[in-house]
Amino acid sequence: MLSGWRYRIASATGVICLTIGAVLLANHPTAQLLFTTYVPLFNRLEPTVLTGDSLQLALLLSVAAIAGSLVPLYKPRPRRILDTIFLAQKRVLTGGLVLATLGFFKWSHRLPRATLTMLVGTLLVVIPLWFVWIRRPADEADRAILVGDDLEQIRRITPDVEGHLIGCLCPTYLNGAEIAAENWLDDDAGRYSTSVPDGGATVDHPPADERVLEIGTDAGTIKRLGGLSRLEDVIREYDVDTAVLAFRHADRAEFFGALDACYEHGVAAKVHREFADAVLTSDTGGGPLVDVEIEPWDPQDYVFKRLFDIAFATVGLLVLTPIILGIAIAIKLDDGGSILYEQERTAAFGETFSIYKFRSMIENAESQTGVKISEEDAGGTDPRVTKVGRILRQTHMDEIPQLWSVLVGNMSVVGPRPERPELDADIQIGTGDWHKRWFVKPGLTGLAQVNDVTGYQPKQKLRHDIKYIKKQSFWVDLRIVVRQIWKVLSDMIEAIT
C-alpha cells in the first residue's frame, strides 16, 4: 500500500482530479437537464450551465473547498475501511457547506443549486472509494514488527502475527533481567566470541546498540532490530504496515512514543486481546490481535470540544470575577498566607503541567505532614484544612482557578481528573489499566466526579474514566457538565443551609 509522501501526493492529487471531474459532470447540459427534470425539489429549476470565467471560478472554489476540507485524510493513518468512508463523507459535506455558505454571502461566487447538489452527491461516493482504494493492501503480505518490553508476551504473541514478521524492537533488559548472552548474534549471524588458551570460548558482551538478538518462540526465531528508540527508523527502513505492541511496564514516553510513531507513519497498531482493554481497541474481529484506537476522535470533534472549553472557561471566569475577588480576600483574612496553591499534575500522553487551586489547607501542608491524599476524600476530617478552605471544598469553589488551565489548553472541561505524577505511578502499580487515562486530556470534571468517586477509590475511578474514554463525544460532555453544575449548586445550598 502507499505510504509516506507517496500517499500524501496521491491522495491530494486524486481529490483534486475527482473534484474537477465532478464539477464538469454536474455542469454538463445533459446532467443538468436530467437532474432538473426528474429529481424532486429540483424539477422546477431551469438548467444552468456555467461557461468561461464562471466555470473557471466554480472549479477553483470547488477544489479549494473540497480539497481543503479533506486535509486530515492526506496523511497515511491506520483507519478501518468504514472509519475512512465516514470521515471522508463528513469532510465532503463540510466542503459542500463551505461552498453553500460562500454562495449565500457572495452571489457572484455562487454555484447553481443543482450543480452544487450533484457535485456533493457525486463526491460523497467517489472520494471515500478513492481513499479506500489507495490504502488497499499490496499483493505481498503485510510487513509486521513486534514492539515491547515483555519477553513472555513477545514469545506468546509471535505465532498469532499475520503476514511477514520482520523482527522485534525491545530493550536489552526485559522483565528486569538482561537478555541471555547466548542470544547475542552479530550481523552475519556469527556469535560474538573470543578463543581462550584451552580451546574453549567465552561470549563477549558487545555494546547494547550493536547487539542483534534472536528470540526463540513456538513459531521459530525472530530477530531483534534494535531498541525502542529505533521504531521510526525501522518503520521507514522496512516499510512496516503493522506494529504489534507487547508492553507490560512501559513508561509514558515509551508507550505513547510507540503509538505516536505508528500514527505519524500510517502504521496499524495492534495488541493481543489477552493483554488489552477494550477502551483502546476496536474489538470487532475474532482473531487474537485487535487494533488500537490511535485516533478515536475526528479532528473536527476536537475543534468543537476545544471551542466549548474556551467558551465555558471565558464565561466562567468573567461571571465569577466578583466571587474570585471575595475568595482571595477571605483567604488573606483567614491566615494571611498565599491565595493560590500550585501543584504538578499529569496531562494527556504523559506530559505534566501546573494546576492552580485556591489554597484550602495550611501553608506547605504536604511537606509538613507527608500526607498526599486528604482524609476528606475518604469521608473523614482533615485537620490541615483551614476554616475558609472547608467552605471552599464543600462548595467546590477551590477549583475555580482551574478554569485558567482549561482556557490555555492544559485541561478540558470534561475528562479524567489529573493526578500528581507520584500518585499516578503508585496507583498504576496497583491498577494495571491506569495508563488508559493518559489517552485523553484531563478535565475539570468527569464521570467519576459526578458519581462521587474520589482518589481513595482508584479502581472505581478508573472504571468511570475508561467508560468516558469509550463513550466520549461532544454530547456526552454536555450531559456531564449539566450534572456537575447541578451537583455544585446542590452542594452550595447544602453548605449554606
**312 membership: H or E segment, kind and range:** helix 299-319
DSSP annotation of 421: H
At position 317, the amino acid (one-letter code) is L
Q: How far is it, in rounded angstroms, from Cα 89 to Cα 105?
A: 25
Asked whether residue 226 carries a pLDDT value surpassing 70, the answer given is yes
446: left (phi over 0), alpha (psi -120 to 50) or beta: beta
pLDDT tier at 315, thresholds 50, 70, 90: very high
Q: How far is it, in rounded angstroms, from Cα 288 to Cα 145?
A: 16
Kindly tell me the sign of the dihedral angle through the C-alpha atoms of 72, 74, 76, 80: positive
Q: Which residue has the cell 496523511?
A: 75
Question: In this prediction, what percent of the chain has a pLDDT beyond 70?
Answer: 70
Which string of DSSP letters, residue by residue, matches 110-161?
A: PPPHHHHHHHHHHHHHHHHHHHHHHTPPPSSPPEEEEEES-HHHHHHHGGG-
Domain ranges of the chain: 4-134, 143-291, 299-496
Q: What is the pLDDT of residue 192?
A: 36
Which string of DSSP letters, residue by residue, matches 231-284?
A: HHHHHHHHT--EEEEE-SS--HHHHHHHHHHHHHTTPEEEEEGGG--GGGB---
Q: For the chain, what percentages of helix, strand and coil (3-state, to nearest 5) are there?
A: 55, 15, 30
Beta bridge partners of 243: 145, 269
CATH class of the domain at 143-291: alpha beta
Asked whether residue 434 carries a pLDDT value surpassing 70, the answer given is no
Cell numbers given for 352: 505534566
Other CB atoms within 10 A of residue 9 CB = 12
- Buried-state track 76-103, b at ≥16 Cβ within 10 A, e below 16: bbbbeeeebbebbbbbbeebbebbbeeb
| Greatest C-alpha distance within the chain | 101
Q: Name the residue with higher pLDDT: 150 or 180.
A: 150
Q: How far is it, in rounded angstroms, from Cα 243 to Cα 145?
A: 5
Average pLDDT over every residue of 109-115: 81
Q: How far is it, in rounded angstroms, from Cα 216 to Cα 174?
A: 14
Q: Name the residue with higher pLDDT: 215 or 430.
A: 215
Does residue 29 contact residue 114 with C-beta atoms inside 8 Å? no
Phi, psi of 360, rounded to the nearest 5 degrees: -115, -5
Cell numbers given for 244: 504489534
Q: What is the pLDDT of residue 183?
A: 45
Q: From the CA atom positions of the chain, what is the Rg in Å? A: 29
Cell numbers given for 360: 484550602
DSSP annotation of 381: -
pLDDT digit string (tens) for 238-294?
878 888 888 775 555 577 678 778 877 778 888 877 766 544 555 555 567 877 765
Asked whether residue 203 carries a pLDDT value surpassing 70, the answer given is no
Q: How far is it, in rounded angstroms, from Cα 27 to Cα 22?
A: 8
Asked whether residue 191 carries a pLDDT value surpassing 50, the answer given is no
Residue 193, CA distances (Å) to 187, 204, 298 in order: 14, 5, 54
**What 3-state class would DSSP assign to 226?**
strand
Cα within 13 Å of Cα(145), Cβ side: 29
Q: What is the pLDDT of residue 335?
A: 80
416: left (phi over 0), alpha (psi -120 to 50) or beta: beta
pLDDT digit string (tens) for 136-169?
554 455 788 988 877 777 778 888 888 788 888 8
Q: What is the pLDDT of residue 365?
A: 62
pLDDT digit string (tens) for 319-364?
999 999 999 999 888 888 888 888 888 766 556 788 888 888 887 6
Tell me the pTM.
Answer: 0.49
Does residue 228 contact residue 167 with C-beta atoms inside 8 Å? no
DSSP annotation of 105: H
Q: How far is it, in rounded angstroms, from Cα 148 to Cα 258?
A: 9
Mean pLDDT rounded to a whole number for the chain: 75
Considering only CA atoms, which of 452, 439, 377, 440 is closest in space to residue 413? 440
Helix and strand numbers (H, E) in the chain are 17, 16
Beta bridge partners of 272: 289
DSSP annotation of 40: T
